[in-house]
Amino acid sequence: AGEAKDPRHTLKNAIQNIIWRILIFYIGAIFVIVTLYPWNELDSIGSPFVATFAKIGITAAAGIINFVVVTAALSGCNSGIYSAGRMLYTLGVNGQAPKIFTKVSGNGVPLLGTLGVLAGLVIGVVLSYIAPKNLFVYVYSASVLPGMVPWFVILISQIRFRKMKKAEMKNHPFKMPFAPVSNYITIAFLIAVLIGMWFNDETRMSLVAGIVFLGLVTVCYFVFGIGRSAEPAASKGKKILDHPQS
């Protein structure tokens, strides 16, 4: 949003496009699979996508799916490096992370922040070889609860924002459908996911780890003052990108 030249036009198109992509590539794909195979037999057929392609006569199904998976993983990894590197930069500017992360290259790339993220990826690769086979489930599940916190904050903030800006909301050019009911439904869904994690033997310990992590972060912030910003970074972040609000 901060890097868009015309956020009102760009974000509107991006939001509308992502909805259709989710419906087609995720919901649509799942619908086709469960139409062809019983949902409780998917574990016995291997990859449901490969089996579906093979069923309609595409013999190179496994190669196609592997290509899609690899490219999707690379795309997701690239996106993670991009956002995490800039997040470290912003935290450094705000005084919530070491100032070393504010160092940028001649092109405005947060150099040390990106290298820090890459170092984390290398550690992950090493652990994938020496740790148990369910490492991914543990690590990913442990990040679910901390990862949900921003979504809870966004949903609650939007509810409060709409109450504070009722007059402006009447003529808003791009309104959220069914708001604020959609906010409460989404919050209930997120809570349902956390409850489901508690009843799943593989994710219960990871949920506990997430709770402990959030507890430690909260204590460090309120008791020791770690992570508190000395001053806002609105005027300091001009160096990284052309748009001053990035």
CA 230 to chain centre: 27
pLDDT at 238 over 70: no
pTM exceeds cut of 0.75: no
CB 91 within 8 A of CB 101: yes
Q: Which two tokens stand for residue 52?
A: 């579906």
Largest pairwise CA distance in the chain: 63
Instruction: Return d(Cα 238, Cα 174) in angstroms, integer.
Output: 28
Q: What pLDDT, on a 0 to 100 scale, did the predictor assign at position 246?
A: 42
183 vs 95, higher pLDDT = 183
Q: pLDDT class for 230, splitting at 50, 70, 90?
A: low
Q: 176-216, pLDDT tens digit by residue?
A: 888 889 999 999 999 999 899 899 887 788 788 888 888 88
> If you ran DSSP here, which 8-state letter would residue 175 be given?
P
pLDDT at 100 over 80: yes
The residue among 4, 36, 58, 12 whose CA lies nearest residue 176 is 12
Q: Where are the domains of the chain?
A: 133-246
Q: 150-178, pLDDT tens digit by residue?
A: 999 999 999 999 889 888 888 887 888 88
CB neighbours of 143 closer than 8 A, spacing ≥ 6?
210
pLDDT at 24 over 80: yes
CB neighbours of 32 closer than 8 A, spacing ≥ 6?
52
